[in-house]
Structure 1
Amino acid sequence: MSSPHATPVGEADRSRVELEGAYRKITLKLIPFLAALWVLAWIDRVNIGFVKLTMLDDLRWSETVYGLGAGIFFLGYFFFEVPSNLLLQKIGAKKTIMRITIGWGLTSIAMMFVTTPAMFYFLRFLLGVFEAGFYPGIILFLTYWFPHSRRSKAFGLFMSASAFAGVIGGPLAGWIMTSLDGVSDLQGWQWVFLVEGIPSVIAGVVTWFYLSDRPETAKWLTPRQVELVLRDIAREDAALGTREHSMLATLKQGRIWQFIAIFFCIIMANSAQTFFGPTIIKEVGFDSPVTIGWIMAFAYLLGGIGMIYNGIHSDRHRESRWHCGLAAALGAVSFTTIALTIDFSPILTLIALVLAIIGTMSAIPVFWQMPNQFLAGTAAAGGIALINSMANLAGFSAPYMLGSIKTSTGSLSPGLAVVAAFEIAATVLILVFIPRMKTAAAPASPKQEVEAPQA
């Protein structure tokens, strides 16, 4: 004879299976496409670190000019990121991401015509203006599709694209610079901007036809899947308790400024390795752009694996502070090692550079779990963008600081020591000042319903 509780248990079990299927479908539909866009954005943003190897000599520019131009990108970020994210919440992801992607692609192509520092500064600033809002926009966009307990993995899968962009971008830039140099009377670095900018313009058009703004508008999900996903997200939102929804109130609180300070320190290190990683490798004796590209590719491959693993591990243990703080600490120790060994030990320097990339990049996706514990609604849209835009001023400061120090002292060591100090500060700020996540009671999930005792 059947148990009187068999039917509800069966229904709950079926719901759990359906929910897992829905998230699997969402992941396969969204993450690879968003990751591909991030690869294009990252390549167009950081290819300047590779073209620098010949561009500076061709145009007779100093390291200071390069450092300022590389960093001024983030001033565009700073001024336009918050408005872009608020606009995304209002008009949707498709329109916002399409505009951003086409804009940065056209600007990257225009970089091939640069001849003066002023043109260089203007186009790098414009590239930042167009790309502003993409990264925090995707962070916000993914919160519409995944509950809190699944976001670190989703963030890690998406953000690891920046690492795999390094895997692709380094060898690609090296190959273009050596193989196409002189073709049609263009320098190799000019071909890099052209070849790597065109795919972004095409991807922007594809975005309009491919993306759905929210689960409710996704025709590729069944009504049942939409219902289950929205219910699951609402359940976990309730579990987080009361969160701030007002952007103005958020600005009056100290917590958001702590997050800005933490992410500033992490981005300081990330920008240093992005824009001066190739230079560090050249400093220890590797002159070929192709060889430098492959070394950076290997480092970024391991960095991408670290991002994904750290995100999955963070979700599994529902913990973000130690996962972020210890990853930043690995980056700090590694940058210190680079500063101490760059002038006498190429092997130790390269090992430390790889570990710096793994540590720093692994901290980034887990970091974004912490603000989401305190912000929701408009506060989340504006707060995420504000954190990212202000913290990315470190993207302006780091390359300019390193370029200036390299020009005045002839060595990167003092600048790298400063970068290490900032990453140590990130670890301290996380572990000392950010509280552990606390959750309120919430309605049971389908899995919990199965396991709950029956009356």
Structure 2
Amino acid sequence: MPHATATATESAADAALYARVSWRLLPFLFLCYVVAYLDRVNVGFAKLQMLADLRFSDTVYGIGAGIFFLGYFLFEVPSNLLMTRTGARVWIARIMVSWGLISSALMLADSAASFYLLRFLLGVAEAGFFPGIILYLTYWYPAQRRARVVALFMSAVAVAGVVGGPLSGWIMQSFAGLYGLKGWQWLFLLEGIPSVLVGVCTLFYLDDGIRSAAWLSEEDKLRLERAIAADRAGQQRLPLGVVFRSAKVWLLALVYFLFVMGLYGVSFWLPQLIKNTGVKNVLDVGLLTALPYGVAALAMVLLARHSDRSGERRWHAAGAAAAGAIGLIVATIYSDNTVLALLALSLATAGILGTFPVFWSLPTAMLGGVAAAAGIALINSVGNLAGFVSPYLIGAIKDASGSPALGVYLLAGSLLCGGLLLLLGVQPAPTEPATATTTTATATGVSADIRTQTQQ
């Protein structure tokens, strides 16, 4: 069977080539996202000391934590479009250096106004990083390999929690009072510096795409380019106005908004939720936050791998969101029991984070070219507005009721609604079953929606 032998040989060669690409790109991109996420959410640890020092209410904290996402929302689409012009290497380096400097500057916050301003500017600086990386991965990997790759990249969120919790707790406890600075001031200063250093390294390490990769042979470049060209053959390359008018793109943005409500509810309030169970020492709180994120890192990769193998996306994402909601509810019910609450928060964090790599397989499979840059950025920017809404609502509810329980229930409801909307609103094509063909069917449905608008 010479044909079968040739196919097997080609498959093995492809697997080896993509393994080489992944070892070159993913560890570095992973590091970038770890430092990005630390700078975005370390305010959750700073809160444990910052509110008392600056006399902030939980509402003020919620607004400051969330206003980051207003700047993020306003500049995300322009940032992603600019990346297609300047190239990934220069633009990602610019993003990282600027946000690292602003993150460190948060140590200077001395009023609600300065806190709001610096958090807003941090969002402006970081705008475009995540959708830029998602777009960048489409330059290298075809759709059928993308969920597991995005999962490996996004597991940086979980690892940032594993590393960031103990690190943040240690910095705040060990450096408090040194040179007259508070522990939370040292936290912002020290965790902002790595972003600047990694940003500078990006200029020398990252390639704009396959063609500029000096570490690939010409044969390898052609093999990768053929796979990307075949993958893009079924994508829509459309004017920006058509992308912005697509009902399916906006539906995906709404689903993402509901999922992100859960993500940043956990990210900004997990240290406080653990502290509320009776853990008082800030270092112990930091160490305990590592457990939910460690479980989540494993769950993300396993779920995405299973989704890639089966080709099914919607039920994987919706099921993970449901698990996240159940975990939040159970953690709230047993909030006075550290062990049970921590186990439930581990389920919640794993479920919430597990939704995202699978979700991002949907829009990246349907759009190409400038449409991909705009569509991905639009979905991400609208979805990340939940990063403002979520911490603000929990803070306001806690101030009004004296307990974060109602706010956590709201997050659980948001996750359940997001999963339900994904299942009911993003349907596979009528002629195809909602199993291994889900990704193709979903892309077909969105493409049909866009084509209809183009014809009108």
- Give the whole-Å Cα distance in 1 for the aligned partners of 2:184 and 2:53: 10
Amino acid of the structure 2 residue aligned with 1:357: T
SS in 2 for 1:221: coil
Aligned to 1:400: 392
Quote how far apart the aligned CAs of 1:11 are.
5.5
Give the aligned residue type for 2:271. P
The AA in structure 2 aligned to 1:155 is V
Shift of 1:349: 2.3
Residue 373 of structure 2: aligned partner: 381
| Contact 1:332–1:420 (8 Å) recurs in 2 | yes
Which residue of the partner structure matches residue 82 of structure 2? 87
| Corresponding residue for residue 249 of structure 1 | 242
Give the aligned partner of residue 364 of structure 1.
356
The match for 1:297 among 270, 290, 295 is 290
Residue 167 in structure 1 maps to residue 162 in structure 2: yes
Query: Helix, strand or coil: the match of 2:140?
Result: coil
8 Å Cα contact 2:235/2:368 also seen in 1 = no
Contact 2:304 / 2:357 at 8 angstroms: preserved in 1? yes
CA-to-aligned-CA distance 1:274-318 (integer Å, 9 cap, x gap): 000111111111111111111111111111111111111111111
Q: Pairwise mapping of residues 401-420 of structure 1 onto structure 2 (< 5 A)?
A: 401-420=393-412
Amino acid corresponding to residue 124 of structure 1 in structure 2: R
Normalising to structure 2: TM-score of the pair?
Answer: 0.92
Q: Secondary structure at the match of 2:211?
A: helix
Deviates more, 1:61-70 or 1:347-356: 347-356
Q: Kindly indicate whether the alpha-carbon contact (under 8 Å) linking 2:236 and 2:371 is maintained by their aligned counterparts in 1.
A: no
User: Residue by residue, what CA displacement relative to the aligned partner does 1:340-375 show, whole Å, maximum 9, x if unpaired?
Assistant: 332x44433222211110000000111001112322
Does residue 58 (structure 1) correspond to residue 50 (structure 2)? The answer is: no
Output aligned runs, 1:428-447, within 5 Å.
Answer: 428-436=420-428, 437=438, 439=440
| Counterpart for residue 216 of structure 1 | 211
8 Å contact from structure 1 (residues 268, 422) kept in 2: yes
Alpha-carbon separation, structure 1, partners of 2:331 and 2:13: 50
Identity of aligned residues (%): 45
CA distance in 2, matches of 1:10, 1:298: 46
Encode CA deviations 1:101-154: one digit per residue, 9 max, x unaligned. 001100011111111111100000011111110000000000000000100011
Q: Does 1:309 align with 2:306?
A: no
Aligned: 1:324 with 2:323: no
2:115 counterpart (116, 120, 132): 120
In the superposition, relative to structure 1, how do residues 51 and 438 fare at CA in structure 2: closer, same or farther (>3 Å)?
closer
Counterpart contact for 2:243–2:374, Cα < 8 Å: no
What is the alpha-carbon distance in structure 1 between the residues aligned to residue 333 and residue 382 of structure 2?
30
C-alpha displacement of 1:430 = 1.1
TM-score scaled by length of structure 1: 0.92
Q: CA deviation at 1:431?
A: 1.1
Q: In the alignment, which of 331, 341, 345 is matched to residue 338 of structure 1? A: 331
Q: Report Cα offsets for 1:12-48 as digits up to 9, x if no partner.
A: 5543333222211110000000000000001111111
CA–CA separation in structure 2 for the residues paired with 1:13 and 1:422: 45
* 2:341 aligned residue: 349
Aligned length: 432
Q: 1:110 aligns with which of 98, 105, 109?
A: 105
Q: How far apart in 2 are the matches of 1:439 and 1:136?
A: 21
The superposition leaves residues 256-290 of structure 1 with CA deviations (integer Å, 9 ceiling, x where unpaired) of: 11101100010000000000011111111111111
Corresponding position of 1:186: 181
Aligned partner (choices 129, 135, 139) of residue 124 of structure 2? 129
Query: Which secondary structure does the structure 1 equivalent of 2:312 belong to?
Result: coil
Distance, in Å, in 2 between the alignment partners of 1:13 and 1:428 is: 40
Which position in structure 1 is the counterpart of 2:414?
422
1:255 Cα shift? 0.2
Distance 1:9 1:149 in 2: 21
1:103–1:337 Cα change, 3 Å: same
Structure 1 gap ranges (5+): 441-455
Match of 1:279 in 2: 272
Please point out which of 201, 215, 222 is paired with 1:227.
222
CA RMSD of aligned residues (A): 1.5
* CA displacement 1:316-345 (0-9 Å, x = unmatched): 111111111100111111222233332x44
Cα distance change on mapping 1:423 and 1:439 into 2, 3 Å: closer
User: 2:172–2:187: 8 Å Cα contact kept in structure 1?
Assistant: yes
Between stretches 267-276 and 83-92, larger displacement belongs to 83-92
Give the CA deviation at 1:194: 1.2
Cα separation, 1, equivalents of 2:197 and 2:143: 33
Q: Which has the higher contact order (CA 8 A, sep 6+)?
A: 1
Amino acid at match of 1:385: A
Q: Residue 69 of structure 1 aligns with which residue?
A: 64
Q: Does the CA contact (< 8 Å) of 1:74 and 1:393 recur in 2?
A: yes
Contact 2:311 2:439 in 1 (8 A): no
Per the alignment, residue 44 of structure 2 pairs with 49
What CA distance in whole angstroms lies between the structure 2 residues aligned with 1:44 and 1:179? Answer: 19
Give CA-to-partner distance per residue, 1:188-208, whole Å, 9 cap, x none: 111111111111111111000
Name the amino acid aligned to 1:433. G
Q: 1:174·1:293 contact (CA, 8 Å) conserved in 2?
A: yes
User: 1:196 matched to which residue of 2?
Assistant: 191
What secondary structure sits across from 1:36 in the alignment?
helix
Preserved contact between residue 109 and residue 197 of structure 1 (Cα < 8 Å): yes
C-alpha distance in 2 between matches for 1:189 and 1:354: 26
Are the aligned partners of 1:49 and 1:275 in contact in 2 as well (CA < 8 Å)? yes
Q: Secondary structure at the match of 1:418?
A: helix
Shift >6 Å, 4+ stretches? none
Helix, strand or coil at the partner of 2:283: helix
Separation in 2, partners of 1:424, 1:244: 33
Contact 1:338–1:413 under 8 Å retained in 2:
no
